[in-house]
Structure 1
Amino acid sequence: MRAANIFHLGNKELRSLLRDPVMLFLILYAFTYAVYIASAAMPETLHKAPIAIVDEDRSPLSTRIIDAFYPPYFLSPALISRSEMDARMDAGLDTFAVNIPPGFQRDVLAGRSPTIQLNVDATRMSQAFVGSGYIQTIIGTEISSFLQGYRANPPPPVELALRARFNPQLNKSWFGAVMKVIDNVTMLSIILTGAALIREREHGTVEHLLVMPVTPFEIMAGKVWAMALVVLAATAGSLVFVVQGLLAVPIQGSILLFLAGSALHLFATTSLGIFLGTLARSMPQFGLLVMLILIPLQILSGSVTPRESMPDAVQFAMMAAPNTHFVILAQAILYRGAGLAVVWPQFVTLVLIGASLFGLSLARFRKTLAAMA
């Protein structure tokens, strides 16, 4: 009867979830519109950056440099005077201000090294960092092309052949969409299982379970498989209809293999959700616990920044977190088309972490039920 009890208890959780419009809206939002926002909100390398140019040379070379800045990377340059440069940047009108000095073309043709001043509004961090390199490259390219009409330039001794694999367009929206799905798998699995336990406690239905011929293991297993199934189905739908369909993000590997890894990850995170649900006494307390646990898990797992850039102590500590291994296998499968021969260590690690969290949560759940009996 144990398997039948687990099945019926899981069905009870699914029916309870269907009667909760707030949770249903959260699931729908997290795997549809939130994924789209994460993709669309990821800025391009440089997009419509405002730039102003002070042309004190007014030569063919300076005109050529001005004409080199155009959308979509930059807005059409605003031609201003030198006295306006600082005032416009103080007012936030320009991210970049370029000052071409008088006699610039003459000094370039004479072989001297004239200086172009570039002012950058570094409060716009992403644009300031990337845009400075763009501007330097554009100006250098235009000067080299201009000089070819006057004297021959020797070819460079080394030519860099750049090949971007897996994302040849360097499209950041591909990264944002997939990573949002991965993060939402963890978030929803913890929230749904913990909220289901607290909801039963608040509604007084836990006492009904205590008088039924079911064990704490069966109660917990029923919650785990039901909530994991919901999140797994939402993940598959989001990947197929939102990521691949609406956003046209190419998935390189097997979605079924990714869902298998997701199921192992959900085994761990749903157990963690129940553990947090036993610690919290109300839904507000549970929300605070989720914030304390979920944010470090997501930020330090490698889904936001590469793990290699983190301190060694943080990398070592996060090896005990299921998110770390889930992000590794998800990126390998969805981005690089890896097979089971590559990601099997992450699968085994997730089984071990999930079993440990399930055992810990079960012990805490039994203690909580014993205190209520």
Structure 2
Amino acid sequence: MIQWLSNVYRLGLKELRSLRADPVLILLIIYVFSFAVYAVATGAKLEVVNASVAYVDLDRSELTGRIVNAILPPDFETPQEISSSDIDRVMNNGKYVFVLSFPPRFEADVLAGLQPSMQLNIDATAMVQAGNGAVFIQEIIAAEIAKFVAPGDTSSSLPIDLIVTALFNPNLQSTWFSSVMQVINNVTILSVLLTGAALIREREHGTIEHLLVMPVTPSEIMLAKIWANGLAIIVAAVLSLWLVVQGILSVPIAGSITLFVVGTVLYLVSVTGLGILLATFTTSMPQFGLLALPVLVIMNLLSGSTTPMESIPVWLQNVMQIAPSTHFVAFSQAILYRGAGLETVWLDMVVMAALSAVFFVAALLRFRQTMSASN
């Protein structure tokens, strides 16, 4: 047993030296856990920010002016007036996301209780921004009309005092979500790529033949690749959470980083095993990349990191329970977002450990078969 552990340790050191000698992979790790996290968190915003607005005012009344003046930054850009004949042109050119059109006698009809119609044109190409922005604009219009018609009347208000509290992200900032999820997704991506690349590198450099004549077993070789590459990923992920997420982006981490690392170790056994398994079916990095790409896309899109699991069809939710990424995302979100403890995430950790055992055994059997064929 001591000799087995010694072999795993020394082979792992060899993997770390090989990784250190590969500047492309080193730069990839640094980029993925630094600039990529920052760029996605600050660039891909889900809330409405600086949405462009235009308006057509055929009424020229005080009410229409109050509505236009209530559409303010930072949610919206300052509304720009256009003519009614320009609506189709500016919408087709994508110049404005929202175009309001006030009909003639709008204020007079409102005061007369005639419920006049007004038009809100929306460029739904940017679906999230369009949907949220439309709701904001409708609320602004309703509020301004209510204050204009009956400024002192509160009879239309709710008969209760409704207090809304947003937990875990009080300002509803998408940066808080996207930055942490980017780190979580990158753990999956790099775990597959680094371990798969390590095996492909052995073949391309001819060192796999050296391993075949050494007194080491396939399990020792696999575990060495797993712990060495897993260590590099965990260190990079933790540094990213501390330096980029908490430091640069000022996003709070609610839970225990130590508990997150423990769960990540359990998860890495399965996902690095998956990387080795995929690499055994290929003979070059281009082939491995083409095979890994659809697997990673499915794992990320259907794991709950991009869209809630509840929005996925039930049968597909059941299928994705065999994917370790589904449980890792739930585990990570519970700890990093909501500050959950072991009593909350222990079941996800048990499932990840069980799936890790399954993926490791499957990868080991395939790896042994591949090594036997090469011998």
For residue 223 of structure 2, what is the aligned residue in structure 1?
221
Give the Cα–Cα distance (whole angstroms) in 2 for the partners of residues 125 and 272 of structure 1.
Answer: 35
**Partner secondary structure for residue 56 of structure 2:** strand
Superposed CA RMSD in Å reads 1.3
For residue 319 of structure 1, what is the aligned residue in structure 2?
321
Contact 2:46 2:128 in 1 (8 A): no
Superposition pairs of residues 288-327 of structure 1, within 5 angstroms: 288-327=290-329
For residue 57 of structure 2, what is the aligned residue in structure 1?
55
Give the Cα–Cα distance (whole angstroms) in 1 for the partners of residues 344 and 49 of structure 2.
Answer: 37
Contact 2:11 2:224 in 1 (8 A): yes
Give the Cα–Cα distance (whole angstroms) in 1 for the partners of residues 242 and 152 of structure 2.
Answer: 56
Q: State the Cα distance separating 1:44 from its structure 2 match.
A: 4.7
Superposition pairs of residues 11-160 of structure 1, within 5 angstroms: 11-149=13-151, 153-160=155-162
Q: State the Cα distance separating 1:77 from its structure 2 match.
A: 1.0
Q: 1:151 to 1:270 in 2, by over 3 A?
A: closer
CA distances 1:112-140 after superposition (whole Å, capped 9, x unpaired): 21111111122232222111111111000
**Partner secondary structure for residue 162 of structure 1:** coil
Q: 1:221 to 1:110 in 2, by over 3 A?
A: same
Q: 1:294 to 1:154 in 2, by over 3 A?
A: closer
For residue 246 of structure 1, what is the aligned residue in structure 2?
248
Q: State the Cα distance separating 1:150 from its structure 2 match.
A: 7.5
Q: State the TM-score, normalizing by the size of structure 1.
A: 0.97
**Partner secondary structure for residue 160 of structure 1:** coil
**Partner secondary structure for residue 196 of structure 2:** helix
Q: 1:320 to 1:95 in 2, by over 3 A?
A: same
Moved more, 95-104 or 27-36: 95-104
CA distances 1:130-164 after superposition (whole Å, capped 9, x unpaired): 11111111000001111224866443324432110
Moved more, 75-84 or 138-147: 75-84
Unaligned runs of 5+ in 1: none
Q: Please, which of 243, 255, 258 is the counterpart of residue 256 of structure 1?
A: 258
Q: Please, which of 215, 234, 238 is the counterpart of residue 236 of structure 2?
A: 234
Give the Cα–Cα distance (whole angstroms) in 1 for the partners of residues 333 and 153 of structure 2.
Answer: 49
CA distances 1:339-370 after superposition (whole Å, capped 9, x unpaired): 00000001111111001111111111111111
Give the Cα–Cα distance (whole angstroms) in 1 for the partners of residues 4 and 167 of structure 2.
Answer: 50
For residue 164 of structure 2, what is the aligned residue in structure 1?
162
Give the Cα–Cα distance (whole angstroms) in 1 for the partners of residues 5 and 41 of structure 2.
Answer: 41
For residue 4 of structure 2, what is the aligned residue in structure 1?
2
Q: Please, which of 179, 193, 200 is the counterpart of residue 195 of structure 2?
A: 193
Q: State the Cα distance separating 1:99 from its structure 2 match.
A: 1.1
**Partner secondary structure for residue 27 of structure 1:** helix
Give the Cα–Cα distance (whole angstroms) in 1 for the partners of residues 316 and 301 of structure 2.
Answer: 11
Give the partner amino acid of 1:126.
V
Q: 1:226 to 1:151 in 2, by over 3 A?
A: closer
Q: Please, which of 172, 177, 202 is the counterpart of residue 175 of structure 1?
A: 177
Give the Cα–Cα distance (whole angstroms) in 1 for the partners of residues 22 and 219 of structure 2.
Answer: 25
**Partner secondary structure for residue 52 of structure 1:** strand
Q: 1:151 to 1:369 in 2, by over 3 A?
A: closer
Give the Cα–Cα distance (whole angstroms) in 2 for the partners of residues 227 and 92 of structure 1.
Answer: 46
Give the Cα–Cα distance (whole angstroms) in 1 for the partners of residues 288 and 210 of structure 2.
Answer: 23
Superposition pairs of residues 257-272 of structure 1, within 5 angstroms: 257-272=259-274
Q: State the TM-score, normalizing by the size of structure 2.
A: 0.97
Give the partner amino acid of 1:283.
M
Give the partner amino acid of 1:242.
V
Superposition pairs of residues 288-367 of structure 1, within 5 angstroms: 288-367=290-369
